[in-house]
């Protein structure tokens, strides 16, 4: 975990009103000003244990005990078609995933801007290759089923040329939660709108930068049925570029009311989970209508200092200076994360969640026109770091 300094505030959403976590019951709007006066992180080295300048822990530390969870989360955060993946250390397997279907579809794969959960693996997976789902579709039944193994797929005439080497997986994936994140873009000849702005600073026209990155994630428990423990993993190169030198913030509250004061704000690193331990959001879990009315805002604020702290004038935040780049209800986050679930069920897992920011701030198709596929636009996914039976000693890992 990199050394960081990020500003934290506790936020609660209860019955449609925002209040400072430190307040008892519902607070007036002025309580947001009181939250602004909370101590900031002491220095760049204080980020990891979540300690504030007065030595206390920020809201979310209480009840955020580590729990055991074992899984692989395969994330499609690249400018690339829907895919399945093969590992040279597991050539006897079918391309992964084998049963997860694309949203609004009956064919198996990982669509752009989505993620699927896979079981942990005890073997070393080794080099990974991705294959566009369309190149495999005819070889498998709808909704998954018997079909060629990776060894057979990679030897089939006309298929191997479409398998793109995206690097080697060297980590032990047998225990813990690991995100395998496909990011970047293909070379210019395969993706005419690819650029360093869209794909990241390491993209080149000749080779592209499509690659698989392994990110270990720590799963925490949640301290109550109406409290969400959340971390952000920023995976959008376009958002990273837009936020360079500015404070990236996360806020939570009623969508129609506009973005409240962020509960996390600062120089957020690319591809790391922050904060640690997670921030805690209070929400109306039993109020079905609230999932469509409340949600998460991603904001861009003013400049940050050398330690990554937001620079405010007169000791306070200027809310008018913040630009809202994403405003997404909990219901919409659930729909994009798991279309076949329901919001109340998806957000009921007894574990922490990672919010993945994926997609482009200005998606374009190959001829330069606007890409209206919402999965390619900037959006959030919410992934629970354990299954619904987390904590059940009789459940399989």
Tell me how far CA of residue 329 lies from CA of 167, 293, 380, 387, in angstroms: 35, 6, 10, 22
Give the structural domain span for 112: 71-217
Query: Which of 217, 252, 279 is the C-terminal boundary of a domain?
Result: 217
The predicted pLDDT at position 51 comes to 33
177 and 242 share one domain: no
112 and 59 share one domain: no
Q: What angle do CA 359, 291, 57 make, to 5 degrees?
A: 80
195 and 238 share one domain: no
The predicted pLDDT at position 254 comes to 94
Determine, yes or no, domain membership for 13: no
282 and 334 share one domain: yes
Cβ-based neighbours of 267, under 8 Å, separated by 6 or more: 4, 5, 6, 247, 248, 304, 308, 309
Query: Which of 217, 239, 269 is the C-terminal boundary of a domain?
Result: 217
Determine, yes or no, domain membership for 364: yes
Q: Rounded to whole angstroms, how far apart are CA atoms 12 and 26?
A: 9
Its pTM stands at: 0.80
Query: Which of 158, 185, 217 is the C-terminal boundary of a domain?
Result: 217
Is there a cis peptide before residue 363, judged by omega within 30 degrees of 0? no
Determine, yes or no, domain membership for 160: yes
Q: Rounded to whole angstroms, how far apart are CA atoms 245 and 294?
A: 29
Contact status, residue 110 vs residue 84, Cβ threshold 8 Å? yes
Residue pLDDT tens, the chain, 397 long: 333 334 434 333 333 322 222 222 222 232 222 223 222 322 322 233 333 333 333 344 445 688 889 999 999 999 999 999 999 999 999 999 998 888 877 888 999 999 999 999 999 999 999 999 999 988 898 887 888 999 998 886 555 668 899 999 999 999 999 999 999 999 999 999 999 988 888 999 999 999 999 999 999 988 788 899 999 999 999 999 999 888 999 999 999 988 888 888 888 899 999 888 898 899 999 999 999 999 999 999 888 887 777 876 654 555 557 899 999 999 999 999 998 899 999 999 989 999 999 998 777 767 677 667 778 889 999 999 987 544 333 333 3
Determine, yes or no, domain membership for 118: yes
The predicted pLDDT at position 371 comes to 67
242 and 360 share one domain: yes
Q: Rounded to whole angstroms, how far apart are CA atoms 33 and 37?
A: 7
Contact status, residue 355 vs residue 250, Cβ threshold 8 Å? yes
44 and 122 share one domain: no
> Tokens 């500003």 belong to which residue?
7
The predicted pLDDT at position 34 comes to 28
162 and 233 share one domain: no
Determine, yes or no, domain membership for 378: yes
197 and 232 share one domain: no
Q: Rounded to whole angstroms, how far apart are CA atoms 102 and 84?
A: 11
Residues, the chain: 397
Determine, yes or no, domain membership for 394: no
44 and 126 share one domain: no
Determine, yes or no, domain membership for 2: no
87 and 140 share one domain: yes
126 and 261 share one domain: no
79 and 148 share one domain: yes
The predicted pLDDT at position 334 comes to 95
Determine, yes or no, domain membership for 142: yes
| Number of domains present in the structure of the chain | 2
């Amino acid at each position: 975990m990199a050394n960081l300094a990020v500003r934290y505030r506790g936020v609660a959403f209860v019955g449609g009103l925002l209040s400072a976590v430190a307040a008892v019951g519902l607070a007036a709007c002025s309580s947001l000003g009181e939250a602004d006066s909370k101590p900031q992180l002491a220095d760049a080295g204080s980020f990891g244990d979540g300690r504030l300048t007065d030595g206390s822990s920020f809201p979310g530390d209480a009840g955020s005990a580590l729990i055991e969870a074992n899984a692989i989360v395969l994330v499609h955060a690249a400018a690339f078609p829907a895919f399945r993946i093969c590992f040279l250390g597991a050539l006897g397997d079918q391309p992964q995933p084998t049963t997860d279907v694309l949203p609004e579809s009956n064919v198996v794969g990982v669509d752009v801007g989505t993620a699927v959960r896979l079981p942990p693996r005890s073997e070393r997976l080794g080099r990974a290759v991705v294959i566009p789902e369309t190149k495999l579709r005819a070889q498998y039944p709808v909704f998954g089923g018997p079909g060629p193994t990776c060894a057979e797929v990679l030897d089939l005439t006309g298929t191997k040329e479409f398998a793109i080497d995206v690097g080697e997986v060297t980590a032990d994936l047998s225990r813990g939660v690991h995100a395998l994140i496909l990011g970047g873009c293909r070379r210019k000849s395969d993706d005419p709108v690819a650029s360093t702005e869209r794909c990241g600073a390491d993209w080149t026209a000749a080779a592209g930068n499509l690659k698989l990155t392994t990110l270990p994630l720590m799963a925490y428990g949640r301290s109550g049925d109406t409290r969400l423990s959340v971390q952000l993993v920023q995976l959008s190169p376009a958002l990273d570029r837009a936020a360079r030198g500015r404070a990236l913030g996360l806020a939570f509250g009623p969508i129609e009311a506009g973005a409240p004061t962020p509960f996390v704000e600062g120089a957020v690193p690319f591809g790391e989970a922050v904060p640690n331990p997670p921030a805690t959001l209070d929400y109306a879990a039993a109020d079905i209508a609230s999932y469509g009315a409340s949600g998460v805002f991603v904001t861009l604020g003013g400049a940050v200092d050398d330690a990554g702290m937001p620079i405010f004038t007169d000791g306070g935040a200027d809310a008018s200076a913040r630009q809202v780049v994403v405003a997404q209800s909990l219901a919409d986050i659930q729909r994009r994360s798991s279309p076949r679930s329901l919001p109340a069920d998806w957000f009921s897992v007894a574990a922490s969640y990672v919010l993945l920011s994926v997609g482009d701030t200005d998606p374009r198709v190959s001829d330069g026109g606007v890409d209206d596929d919402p999965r390619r636009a900037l959006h959030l996914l919410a992934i629970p770091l354990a299954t619904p039976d987390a904590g059940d000693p009789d459940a399989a890992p």
